[in-house]
Structure 1
């Protein structure tokens, strides 16, 4: 099984606004890094090579991807240049009061749809973590358990 992830956010400004320039000017570089990262499988993108024009729910921007495992995703998020942008997310995105990230297992070769991802996020919000939809803490707990079994 692979790991699908959806991360949503509300842009504070239109993507053409100068206050979004640092984010927008680095999207191709950060996305290319993801695609070159060990364990990367797939990411949602439109004709502009990113997903900034796609929306879900109440006009939320989306990031939808599939990774071989949680360790690969964690390495990309926290051990590459991506972390520099992650730390600045409040400059470009409003604070979320509801869950804004969800993970779920997908069969190898399965490409999740936005509708599937939205359903998983709604499930997490309504029912809390489960095998169907879970958050980052549960992803890392699963990875720790897998490592213990392999040791």
Structure 2
């Protein structure tokens, strides 16, 4: 059995069209616990940011603009995250995201590899979004469209 040396960290932000407690957001809010439970049960899932005493991160305001929600998760692989985002019930949120969230001119998702066992924090996540915005996809911060392999795969392939 191969010991996992790296996991994939993912930060994703979304700008709310209206506050979470408005009728316009009711469909989105109603799905949060169910969609988080799907992630929690996924064998490729490792960890997700949660507000203190809560089961989600919707009360965390990591940015000056209080309309911005943040999701920070860790996955065993890029494939596991892709399966969750696009092939689970999470895909319905992706299809409907324009109902609830404004389009941003900044990157709203960044991925990066972390040593297994490391828990990323909000400052690290914000830094990765900034790296992606400044430099595009690099091994330090990349997108689904231009991913980089896990460092342990690069080492294995070079050996």
Report the TM-score when normalising by structure 1: 0.90
Flag as ranges the 4+ runs of structure 1 deviating above 4 A.
none
Equivalence for 2:57: 51
In structure 2, distance between residues paired with 1:105 and 1:83: 23
Helix, strand or coil: the match of 2:110? strand
Q: Does 1:109 align with 2:94?
A: no
The CA distance in 1 between the partners of 2:30 and 2:94, in whole Å, is 15
Q: Which residue matches 2:43?
A: 38
- Note the 1:130-145 alignment, pairs <5 A: 130-139=138-147, 142=149
Kindly indicate which of the two structures has a greater share of residues assigned to helix: 1
Deviates more, 1:98-107 or 1:130-139: 130-139
Moved more, 128-137 or 2-11: 128-137
Instruction: Tell me which of 85, 90, 98 is aligned to 2:93.
Output: 85
- Runs of 5+ in structure 1 lacking a partner? none
What is the aligned partner in structure 1 of residue 137 from structure 2? Answer: 129
Shift of 1:57: 2.7
Alignment RMSD (CA, Å): 1.4
Number of residue pairs matched?
144
Q: CA deviation at 1:24?
A: 0.4
